[in-house]
Chain A
Amino acid sequence: MLPELGHFALILALLLAGLQAFFGIVGPMAGRDRWTAAVTPAVAGQFVMIGTAVGCLIYSFVSNDFSVLYVAENSNSALPLFYRVTALWGAHEGSLLLWIFLLSCWTVAVSIGVTRLPQRFGARVLGVLGIVSFGFLLFTLATSNPFSRLDPPAPDGRDLNPILQDPALAIHPPILYTGYVGFAVAFAFACAAMLEGRLDQHWARWTRPWTTAAWAFLSCGIALGSWWAYYELGWGGYWFWDPVENASFMPWLVGTALIHSLAVTDKRGLFKSWTLLLAILAFSLSLLGTFLVRSGVLVSVHSFAADPTRGIFILCFLVVMIGGALSLYAWRAPLLKSQAGFDLSARESFLLFNNILLVVAAATVFAGTLAPLIATTLGLGTLSVGAPYFNPTFMLSMLPLCALLGIGIHANWKRGRLGEKSRVLLTTLVIAIALACLISFAIYSHGKILTPVGATLGVWIILTSLVDPIDRVRRKLSLSRSVVGMTVAHIGLGLFVLALTTVESFTTEHDVSLAKGAATAVGPYEFRFEGVKSIEGPNYEGVTGTVRVSRNGTPLTVLYPEKRKYDVQRQVTTEAAIEMHYGSNLLVAMGEDLGAGKWSIRIQVRPLVNLVWLAAFIMAVGGGISLTDRRYRLTRSAAEEGAATVGSTTVTGERAG
């Protein structure tokens, strides 16, 4: 009964989304205030319905109802309760439902936030979000119903994909999707402004906190995914330039550009049409990512079961949403004029470079991701694009970006006045180079050509970010939350560059075959293999190896890498043993049983790799801090001083839940 109730709730949600879209778009156009007022109740109703559907599906999982096809395919009675709940998003249908649920959470938050904005504008924003939600609900109901029954019921389920049975991956999709979906809000604000035909600086201020929140979630989501790939896929890599990874990384790059260009539009009223385009692009890339992952046009380790009808549906949806928004853009953007000019050395110039470089970076990733597809289309055969393409092209735009960041944050708006800052900048540069040399040549004795460059840039970003806040604190001046947030995020970036440089320069890796009792040396470490014994888990069996590690002759630790075979899916997973010592991650993973007690074993020593993910979280925290800035929660009266028709946002603390 409950699955049918969930199905029915989804159908009602579809109708409500249609109403929300219709009243939100047509109401303000026709000037009917009562229609406009109907939007918020539709949002609330839709949230309740989608929540009900999610609840029903979770219940089916928890109660092991294998008469539901999706449950039978992705769960098992031996699966621990926690994973039975998270199995909800273990495959295509359920993760689509999660996508829709998070969108409705964002929409509810927006509907609360926009009560302080002009009513018609708010209705338009919600109307656009209604269209997005309608499209995805229709997609789910038409091609991917998670409530389909299985007749007769399966005696037991096929179990959740073993590589998804992991705590980090259990929480990775909700956080990543919250970020993805969050860009829908910036997109809706942009479309609403274009529908209204006016876009002033207030628009940028209203959009900023939503964009930053979405961006922070996306940063965390990507970092979690990378962390999971590192320890669960078992072979010690943390970024593979896989189409699915790229699909989440492209919106992140464009979203980062959007955050910066929104700052310019907010503070100076410039870059208006460009900001609009970025807002459309960021969400379009999220949608495109959804398309790539679920249509089967690209082959990836993470992709869902391929289904061309789904692909066609999403493609039509892309044409409606992105095509519609871009047409609106072609029509409205020429009307936008930016009056003010700025110096070449002004902050605006630097942010313009920032935007260009980030978009170029996104474009190179885009080109690399779609190249195999384009090659097939043109009949050039199959093509695979990997790190040898992505690493250098990506660095080509990222290195200048990092270099300019340090100068740009010291430039003033309108007129740069960098001359006054040149001494500070020069001093920080000298210190950065000195520290970088110390890292490259004293701590780690060897390196590559780019090692000193990367290290210098990392240290330089951190130092230059700190100069201004330290100066203000010394002079006992106040620091706004948005400046603190920016500083923290930039320090995060600096640490990230530093960590990445170290990891890429100084990682050592050995694939060896070891018999019981044999040892191999990696740098100062010695790894001694002491054989395997069999183990048994709740829904798997396997072997665990014992590897004794010593450093410069003194015993350090014992590692127990595992190889598991899951009973139902008969899939083998590699559980690498990872421990951090002296800032480096020691990783031991079991390969194949070579017979006669010999095993192939991968040993890897990666310095500072944990800092890569930590730095990404620091960036996200920076975004979170800037969200709490007073500017975004001005009282109504304060905002009305500035512009008669304009209210203000109260977005602090609202998150998609």
Chain B
Amino acid sequence: MNRFLIPLGVFALLVIVLGVGIKHSPELGIIKSPLLGKPAPEFTLPNLTSPGAVVKSTDLHGRWYVFNVWGTWCGGCRQEHSTLLDIKRAGVVPIIGMDWRDTDSEALSMLDQLGNPYETIAVDKDGHEAVDWGVYGAPETFLVNDKGIIVYKYVGPLTPQAWEKEFLPRLPQRQAGTAGAPAKS
């Protein structure tokens, strides 16, 4: 036995440990946001569908909701639109939309054509509110719990797979279990 092989052997063991470590590494694939686990930003913004009214974040307190940042100029948003409509149909959790850097008339006509998956839609014309949410590209979708804490953030067009794998398991049992059952099967 060549004693100069010992370092190589020790290194091989280390590689095994590190390899297993990667497999177990926490939070596989989540896109990190400094806002995860933090309270959702408070806002008061114009309401898209009823002119003159406002959408207030305080009105959303006490229940789970999905916060979706979109715009008509964004291709990925059209792509995820059918998924959002499916989620609305399943009725598990309301979707609050934020129309980001957009013109109201175009947004309304898009919803007329494709259908409206949102419970309410806030308008962020100059993009200031999006900065508070740490948005750097539409579409982005947040899951906010009943205590107003952001529990998950998804970047890019939302897919049915991502919805089932990442969003549904995070929702409380009561909501996901009853209304969410058809979506899972």
Contact = CB atoms under 8 A, between A and B. Distances in A.
A330 B4 contact: yes
Given A72-B136, A158-B134, A297-B25, A373 B4 contact: no
23 contacts: A152-B73, A154-B137, A155-B101, A155-B127, A158-B134, A158-B136, A281-B7, A284-B11, A291-B18, A295-B25, A296-B22, A305-B32, A308-B23, A315-B15, A315-B22, A323-B11, A323-B12, A327-B8, A330-B4, A370-B14, A377-B20, A569-B34, A570-B41
Given A73-B136, A377-B17, 15 more contacts: A155-B101, A156-B127, A158-B136, A281-B7, A295-B18, A297-B24, A306-B27, A308-B25, A308-B29, A311-B22, A312-B22, A318-B18, A319-B15, A329-B8, A569-B134
Interface residues of A, number: 46
B19 interface: yes
Interface string B72-107: 011000000000000000000000000001000000
A143 interface: no
A154 B136 contact: yes
Contact of A334 (B2, B14, B34): B2
B8 A326 contact: yes
A318 B138 CA distance: 37
Interface in A67-115: 69, 72-73
Nearest to B16: A377
Contact of B17 (A150, A296, A334, A374): A374
Nearest to A73: B136
A60 interface: no
A299 B35 CA distance: 18
B131 A376 contact: no
Interface string A544-582: 000000000000000000000000111100000000000
Given A158-B136, A570-B132, A373 B26 contact: no
A296 B127 CA distance: 33
Given A296-B26, A323-B11, A373 B17 contact: yes
B22 A295 contact: yes
A277 interface: yes
Nearest to A373: B21
A333 interface: yes
Nearest to B25: A296
Interface string A271-314: 00100010011001000000100011111000001101001100
A69 B136 contact: yes
B25 A306 contact: yes
Contacts of B27: 296, 306
A145 to B, nearest CB: 16
A295 B101 CA distance: 36
Nearest to B5: A330
A281 B4 CA distance: 14
Interface of A: 69, 72-73, 150-152, 154-156, 158, 273, 277, 280-281, 284, 291, 295-299, 305-306, 308, 311-312, 315, 318-319, 322-323, 326-327, 329-330, 333-334, 370, 373-374, 376-377, 568-571
Contacts of A322: 11
Contacts of A319: 15
Interface of B: 2, 4-5, 7-8, 11-12, 14-29, 32, 34-35, 38, 41, 73-74, 101, 127, 130-132, 134, 136-138
B4 A273 contact: yes
A156 B38 contact: no
B132 A326 contact: no
A308 B22 contact: yes
Contacts of B15: 315, 318-319, 323
Given A155-B127, A334-B2, A277 B7 contact: yes
Contacts of A377: 16-17, 20-21, 24
Contacts of A151: 137
Nearest to A315: B18
Nearest to A76: B131
B22 A370 contact: no
Contacts of B7: 277, 280-281, 326, 329-330
Contacts of B5: 330
Contacts of B16: 377
A385 to B, nearest CB: 15
Q: Which 7 pairs show the lowest CB-CB distances between chains A and B? A: A297-B21, A326-B8, A311-B22, A155-B127, A377-B20, A333-B4, A305-B32
Nearest to B76: A151
A61 to B, nearest CB: 16
Contacts of A155: 101, 127, 130-131
A326 B11 CA distance: 9
B152 to A, nearest CB: 16
Contacts of B136: 69, 72-73, 150, 154, 158
A376 B24 contact: yes
Contacts of A305: 32
A44 B112 CA distance: 61
Contact of A373 (B12, B18, B29): B18
A135 to B, nearest CB: 16
Q: B8, B25, B35: which has the most chain A beta carbons within 10 Å?
A: B25
Contacts of A308: 22-23, 25, 28-29
Contacts of B14: 370
Contacts of B2: 330, 334
Contacts of A370: 14, 17
B35 to A, nearest CB: 8
Contacts of A570: 34-35, 38, 41, 132
A618 B111 CA distance: 69
Contact of B26 (A150, A306, A315): A306
A436 to B, nearest CB: 40
A311 B27 CA distance: 14
Contacts of A299: 26
A330 B8 contact: yes
A291 B18 CA distance: 9
Contacts of B17: 370, 373-374, 377
A329 B22 contact: no
A297 B127 CA distance: 36
A376 B19 CA distance: 12
A306 B32 contact: yes
B28 A297 contact: no
Contacts of B132: 570
B122 to A, nearest CB: 17
Nearest to A333: B4
A569 B136 CA distance: 13
Contacts of B8: 323, 326-327, 329-330
A378 to B, nearest CB: 9
B4 to A, nearest CB: 4
Contacts of B11: 284, 322-323, 326
